[in-house]
Amino acid sequence: MNTTQRETAERCMHAAHDGTMSFPAIIGALLEAGFEGYHVDYRGGTVTYHLPSGDGAVVAAPDITGPVAPRFDATIVEQAVREAQTNAPGYTYLGFCSKVRAAGCAGYLVSFLGKRVVYYGRTAETHVELFPKAPE
């Protein structure tokens, strides 16, 4: 991993947390830097950005940690995703993180290759979201 890729990963993580970049802009920056996806771990407080070579950057994200509810509620996770997608009034990424942790989400894996996000609970239950299609 080169310095530019590491800096891009860190910049994108901080931008998501402080709301200075939209999700599509973050995806664009990560793709341009050569990443194929990333993993958010709420229990570990990290975001790991993955390159096709197997190399990656682990970035500490202590502001996303907190208890993860024992029961995974895919309906609440899906509602939180819809709020994010529509940039609902009052939406913040940190609020999203709190909401999905309370719904039992222990983390999620974003695959640019698969154009999907897999949210998972402590018991490995999952909810899959496909990337929205771009307007034609």
Q: What is the pLDDT of residues 41-96, one digit of tens each?
A: 999 999 999 999 999 999 999 888 889 999 999 999 999 999 988 889 999 999 99
What's the pLDDT at 96?
Answer: 95
Q: What is the pLDDT of residues 7-55, one digit of tens each?
A: 999 999 999 999 899 888 999 999 999 999 999 999 999 999 999 999 9
Closest alpha carbon to 115 in 133, 135, 93, 100:
133
CB 106 within 8 A of CB 120: yes
CB 128 within 8 A of CB 118: yes
Q: C-alpha distances in angstroms, 110 versus 9, 28, 40, 50, 70?
A: 14, 13, 8, 10, 22
**Structural domains of the chain sorted by starting position, each given as residue range(s) with its CATH number in brackets:** 3-130 (3.30.1810.10)
Q: What is the pLDDT of residues 96-132, one digit of tens each?
A: 999 999 999 999 999 999 999 999 999 999 999 998 7
Closest alpha carbon to 117 in 23, 17, 9, 51:
23
CB 51 within 8 A of CB 28: no
